[in-house]
Amino acid sequence: MIAGMVAEMKMRKSYLPNKPLQSIYFGGGTPSVLEKEDLINIFKGIKENFSLAQDAEITLEANPDDLTEEKLKMLAETPINRLSIGVQSFNDDDLKMMNRSHNAAQATQSIQQAQALGFSNITLDLIYGLPDRNEVHWEQQLYKALDLNVPHISAYALTVEKETVLENWIRKGKISPLDERIAERNFYFLIKILQKHGYEHYEVSNFAKKGYRAKHNSSYWQGKPYLGIGPSAHSFNGNSRQWNVSNNHVYLDSINQGELHCEKETLSIAEQYNEKVMTGLRQKEGLDLEQIDLLFGVHYTQFLLKEAQAQLENGSLEQVGTHLVIPTPQRFRSDGIAAALFYI
């Protein structure tokens, strides 16, 4: 598989602008199963086909139970300089509810061991809005994360996927259905506590200490091109996105034949505008009106200002210079506010 991915890099090295890569992200699936030799070969392929910025952010996504001391020691010997750890919760009952394979002790240990081995740039994921949990419980999760002194935290409201343990428990009445009011209270408590402790709320779901905004995440929100390598990987060049076939055998067969088995979607101007509105309003800086005018023209700018008027009047939006910004008391509804501005 690694050889096939390196071959794909060679095939697609002209996909991205001819600029040094600012971010590399090992994510999706289980990248933590990669051995040192696999990573060496991947980085060799990257260096042969792309230019890499000296301060590039190189992230590996992993679950706490995958990050054994042995695995972390190996990762510390590679160019990887950032870890994204899927903690979700520091409570064993929560983790069982979410059907996670790790426990709370493993979550804490993985972070502490990573820090001891020199990984200072760590982000962890937390989930809020869990049913049958009071606000004291959520406060405990946040202070546990703060005690570990990680520079970046991502937090997301719990969603119920079909055919999961959580859905089954709710259907059988073992736990209460999700309550959006609980999620909203948790969200604003999250903002209050993390800002109090020096974290910048720079995107709806993301908080960072100074200098630790995620380059990888930010590139998505800013609409920058990205290249995905491997089965199921997605790529975006500004006006179209494509995704590789998910079947490993089909992927490798096509690569061996000098082709790439993928699907492609070209975005209309309206779809590009809608994405820019959605991602712009999720960011602290908001949506840049001058950029909308530059990218899409006066027609879309006038449309945006017209649709935004009612929300400016009721306080769902504010205009700060040339930017439309969602004020903090309304940020829980960010997606709905943005959707009201879509060009349909």
Grouping H, G, I as helix, E, B as strand and the rest as coil, residue 24 is: strand
Cβ atoms of 342 and 274 within 8 Å: the answer is yes
Q: Is the pLDDT of residue 17 over 90?
A: no
pLDDT grade, residue 33 (50/70/90)? confident
| Residue matched to tokens 């935004």 | 308
| Average pLDDT, integer, range 28-46 | 90
Contact 155, 125 (CB under 8 A): yes
Tell me how far apart the alpha carbons of residues 109 and 114 are, in angstroms, rounded to a whole number: 8
Q: What is the pLDDT of residue 30?
A: 75
Q: Quick one: 151 and 281 in the same domain?
A: no
Q: What is the pLDDT of residues 202-246, one digit of tens each?
A: 999 999 999 999 999 999 899 999 999 999 999 999 899 999 999
Q: Which domain holds residue 207?
A: 18-221
Do 291 and 153 belong together in one domain?
Answer: no
Tell whether 35 and 171 lie within a shared domain. yes
State whether 60 and 158 are in the same domain. yes
Domain assignment present for 235: no
Residue 217 lies in a domain: yes
Q: What are phi and psi of 278, to 5 degrees?
A: -60, -50
pTM to 2 decimal places? 0.94
Percentage of the chain surpassing pLDDT 90? Answer: 90
| 297 confidence band (pLDDT: 50, 70, 90) | very high
Claim to verify: residue 124 and residue 61 sit in the same structural domain: yes
Give domain status of residue 261, yes or no. Answer: no
Q: Are residues 195 and 297 in the same domain?
A: no
Specify the CATH number for the domain of residue 273.
1.10.10
Q: Report the number of distinct structural domains present in the chain.
A: 2
Residue 289 within any structural domain of the chain: yes
Residue 87, in any domain of the structure: yes
Please compute the mean of the pLDDT values over residues 132-155 and round it to a whole number. 96
Residues 62 and 202 in one domain: yes
Among 199, 221, 243, identify where a domain stops. Answer: 221
Q: Residue 344 has what pLDDT?
A: 87
**What pLDDT digit, counting tens, does each position of 73-89 carry?**
999 999 999 999 999 99
Query: Does residue 251 belong to any structural domain of this protein?
Result: no
Q: Does the pLDDT of residue 91 top 90, yes or no?
A: yes
Q: Among residues 221, 256, 278, which one ends one of the domains?
A: 221
Give me the CATH number covering residue 57: 3.30.750.200
pLDDT in tens, 128-140: 999 999 999 999 9
Token pair recorded at residue 264: 């492609």
**Do 23 and 133 fall into the same domain?**
yes
135 and 276 assigned to the same domain: no
Q: Where are the beta strands (DSSP E) in 255-320?
A: 262-266, 287-288, 318-320
Torsion of CA 5, 8, 14, 20, to 10 degrees: 10
Per-residue pLDDT, 254: 96
Residue 29 pLDDT more than 90? no
- The pLDDT tens digits of the residues spanning 158-167 come to 998 887 888 8
- Are residues 200 and 323 located together in one domain of the fold? no
Clarify whether residues 43 and 133 are in a common domain: yes
Distance, CA of 281 to CA of 162 (rounded, Å): 29
What's the burial of 141, exposed, middle or buried (CB within 10 Å: 0-12/13-18/19+)?
buried
What's the mean pLDDT in 254-281? 96
207 and 317 belong to one structural domain:
no
Distances (CA, A) of 74 to 33, 56, 114: 12, 20, 11
52-62 vs 82-88, strand pairing mode: parallel
Average pLDDT, the chain: 95
Residue 194 lies in a domain: yes
Distance CA 183, CA 128 (A): 6
- Neighbouring CB atoms inside 10 A of 292's CB total 22
